[in-house]
Structure 1
């Protein structure tokens, strides 16, 4: 039986390559909203983060989320993302 290849993605916070299903996709939709994409299939520009606070903080501190999404991400947007991740 043939094994499926596991897609790898890089976390923009810690810069580690991890399997796609272990990361969270943050997406900038076509109408300019920043959302969490639990399915990983929403259309728009996406970036991947580990499921911990350190990576979220690092991505904001180094402005990596804004660069990856090609969009100015405010601190309020990051706080909303953080709250959603902690509640889920």
Structure 2
């Protein structure tokens, strides 16, 4: 049986390519709203960021999504992003330890 292709996406903070499942998509819709898109299916312009606390903190420090979406993003969004990434990273660590 032929191995399945793993979709890869680029993390806009580090510039590295990662499997899509290891990233979270941030999307800007036509109205200019910026939201997290865990399903990666929302309509709009998307950008990906790694599920790592340090990457999310760096995105806030450098205002990466302000540049990517060419608009001012409030700090509350970055705080929400960091909380989401922190939660997802904790879940991965918890379930990785449960498998052992």
TM range (shorter): 0.7 to 0.9
Cα distance in 1 for residues equivalent to 2:57 and 2:84: 15
Name stretches of at least 5 consecutive residues in structure 1 with no aligned partner. Answer: none
Equivalent pairs counted in the alignment come to 88
Cα distance in 2 between the residues matched to 1:37 and 1:12: 15
Cα distance in 2 for partners of 1:11, 1:54 equals 13
Residues 23-64 of structure 1 show CA distances to partners (whole Å, capped at 9, x for unaligned) of 011111222211111111111111111112211121222232
| CA-based RMSD | 1.8
Which residue number in structure 1 is paired with residue 21 of structure 2? 21
The match for 2:37 is 37
Q: CA distance change for structure 1 residues 8 and 75 in 2, over 3 Å: closer, same or farther?
A: same
Q: Following superposition, which runs of at least 4 residues in structure 1 exceed 6 angstroms of deviation?
A: none
Q: Which moved more, 1:63-72 or 1:15-24?
A: 63-72
* Partners of 1:77 and 1:28 in 2: CA distance: 12
CA contact (8 A) 1:13 1:54 kept: no
Deviates more, 1:73-82 or 1:38-47: 73-82
Unaligned regions of 5+ residues in structure 2, if any? 89-100
Residues 14, 58 of structure 1: 8 Å contact kept: no
- Structure having the higher helix fraction is 2
Larger relative contact order (C-alpha < 8 A, sep ≥ 6)?
A: 1
